[in-house]
Amino acid sequence: MSFNRRFVPLFYAFAGLFGFAGVALAAAAAHGGGDAHLVASASTMCLVHAPALLALAIGAERLKTAGIAGLLIGIGTLLFSGDLVMSRYAGLGLFPMAAPTGGFAMMFGWLAVAIGAFFRART
Residue 121 lies in a domain: no
d(CA 6, CA 91): 37
Residue 27 and residue 48 in contact, taking contact as beta carbons nearer than 8 Å: no
Distances (CA, A) of 14 to 20, 44, 47, 94, 100: 10, 15, 11, 19, 20
Question: Can you give the pLDDT at residue 123?
Answer: 57
Q: What average pLDDT does the chain have?
A: 93
Residue 95 lies in a domain: yes
Q: Confidence band (pLDDT; 50, 70, 90) for 122?
A: low
Q: Confidence band (pLDDT; 50, 70, 90) for 121?
A: low
Read off the pLDDT of residues 49-102 as tens digits, 9 standing for 90 and up.
999 999 999 999 899 999 999 999 999 999 999 999 999 999 999 999 999 999
Residue 82 lies in a domain: yes
Question: Can you give the pLDDT at residue 58?
Answer: 94
Q: Is the pLDDT of residue 22 over 80?
A: yes
Domain count, the chain: 1
Classify residue 32 by its DSSP letter: -
pTM metric for this prediction: 0.92
Q: Which domain holds residue 69?
A: 3-116
Residue 46 lies in a domain: yes
Residue 77 lies in a domain: yes
